[in-house]
Amino acid sequence: MYKPVIGLEVHVELNTKSKMFCNCSADYFGKKPNTHTCPVCLGLPGALPFINKQAIEGCLKIGLALNCTPAEESLFERKNYFYPDLAKGFQTSQYRWPLSVKGWIDIEDKSGEKKRIRINRAHQEEDTAKLMHQLGNSKTQETSNNENITGIDFNRSGVPLVEIVTEPDFTDSSQIRDYAKKLQQIFRYLGVSNADMERGDMRLEANVSVREVGNEKWDVRTGKLPPYRVELKNINSFRFMVAAVEYEIKRQIELLEAGRDDELRQETRGWDENKKITYVQRSKEEAHDYRYFPEPDLPEFRVQSSEFRIDDIKKGMPELPWMKAERFVKELGLEWRISPVL
């Protein structure tokens, strides 16, 4: 008998007026390609970034809503990898010094019992550019009708992004769906993001592996995990995520039962909605493969300082949905099944 071991990464774009490290407008959706750009978000040599304070506050709000502890100090790092949508050859992100750490959030499992999902971190980074694929049968001034081309729109490059990473506490797809929906509600309550998945404001990535029940060398709570994990990348629908996770669990269990465990490896897979299967995209990198090092063009900063007053940020946050539901039960005597609806 096998049991899934699943962690989730949620990326959410913040609805700030400007991008993370420059003054370009972050309102890029539906705009003409490459019209919201500058030397910073194009990655041109010599361009110097600066930190968007509003984005930092948005990330801290998310962390506080998830019961995370704000860091004393934080800094940005360069995450080095090569891909066409990353003009600089690195993404400005956080790894060793995230803004918020060690939080939690409760959801209900299938039996109606509360299940606590541990939050490893909520950190700040920038979004990448967007690849625009054009098939050869759509003729334009730039291409003949038999060419397939890929263009790059840098309007999205540098838009503030928050990544929320959980511990591997999920054991089925319904828990992932309920958790992601609760996060979406939090983002909207806080006013930090529209969290519209169709527009790409919120994207999901699940890390899936399975373990044999009773195998003592694999213990999630003590950090003894299966020797591989498959990352399901950039899923932009709750329904697609549920389908992708369920298929991936089934695929891995079938391989283990057939004695083909050597085919389970560290890799990134996508979801093919038409075929209802996951497919290999590339081998999965480890943290050391990205060669993180501190961003030399951005200073280290104190999170709990006069510039970022945590107490003031807390006071400015609205009452969150589950807090409101608890208050309705205590003050108005409503039943638990009714108060969340209100």
Q: Cite the beta strand spans of the chain per DSSP E.
A: 2-13, 69-70, 73-74, 77-80, 90-93, 100-108, 114-126, 130-134, 149-153, 160-166, 202-212, 230-235, 267-272, 277-283, 293-294, 301-302
- Distances 119 to 9, 104, 175, 224 between C-alpha atoms, Å: 10, 5, 14, 18
pLDDT exceeds cutoff 70 at 132: yes
pLDDT exceeds cutoff 90 at 232: yes
* Residue with token string 């208050």: 327
- Helices 173-190, 53-65: inter-axial angle, 10-degree rounding: 130
pLDDT confidence bin for 242, thresholds 50/70/90: very high
DSSP helix/strand/coil, 314: helix
pLDDT exceeds cutoff 90 at 278: yes
Pick from 292, 302, 307, 297: which is nearest to 74 by CA?
302
CA angle 250, 251, 253 (to 5 degrees): 65
DSSP helix/strand/coil, 145: coil
Q: What is the pLDDT of residue 218?
A: 57
183-216 pLDDT, tens digit per residue, is 999 999 999 999 999 999 999 999 999 988 876 5
pLDDT exceeds cutoff 60 at 97: yes
Section 234-244 average pLDDT:
93
**Distance in angstroms (rounded) separating the CA atoms of residues 8 and 120:** 10
Q: What is the pLDDT of residue 327?
A: 82
Q: Which residues contact 141 (CB under 8 A, 6 or more apart)?
A: none
**Distance in angstroms (rounded) separating the CA atoms of residues 57 and 119:** 19
Q: How many CA atoms lie within 13 A of 67 on its CB side?
A: 10
pTM of the model: 0.89
Pick from 86, 81, 2: which is nearest to 256 by CA?
2
Q: Which residues contact 326 (CB under 8 A, 6 or more apart)?
A: 339
Q: What is the pLDDT of residue 333?
A: 75
Q: What is the residue-averaged pLDDT of the chain?
A: 89
Q: Which residues contact 247 (CB under 8 A, 6 or more apart)?
A: 271, 276, 277, 278
294-336 pLDDT, tens digit per residue, is 999 999 999 877 677 898 999 989 988 888 878 877 877 777 6
Section 107-123 average pLDDT:
89
Section 222-236 average pLDDT:
82
DSSP helix/strand/coil, 332: helix
**Distance in angstroms (rounded) separating the CA atoms of residues 110 and 108:** 7
Burial 86-98 (b: 16+ CB within 10 A, else e): bbbebbbbbbebb
**Distance in angstroms (rounded) separating the CA atoms of residues 242 and 253:** 17
Q: What is the pLDDT of residue 221?
A: 55
Is the pLDDT higher at 2 or at 224? Answer: 2
**Distance in angstroms (rounded) separating the CA atoms of residues 86 and 214:** 44
Is the pLDDT higher at 285 or at 140? Answer: 285
pLDDT confidence bin for 240, thresholds 50/70/90: very high
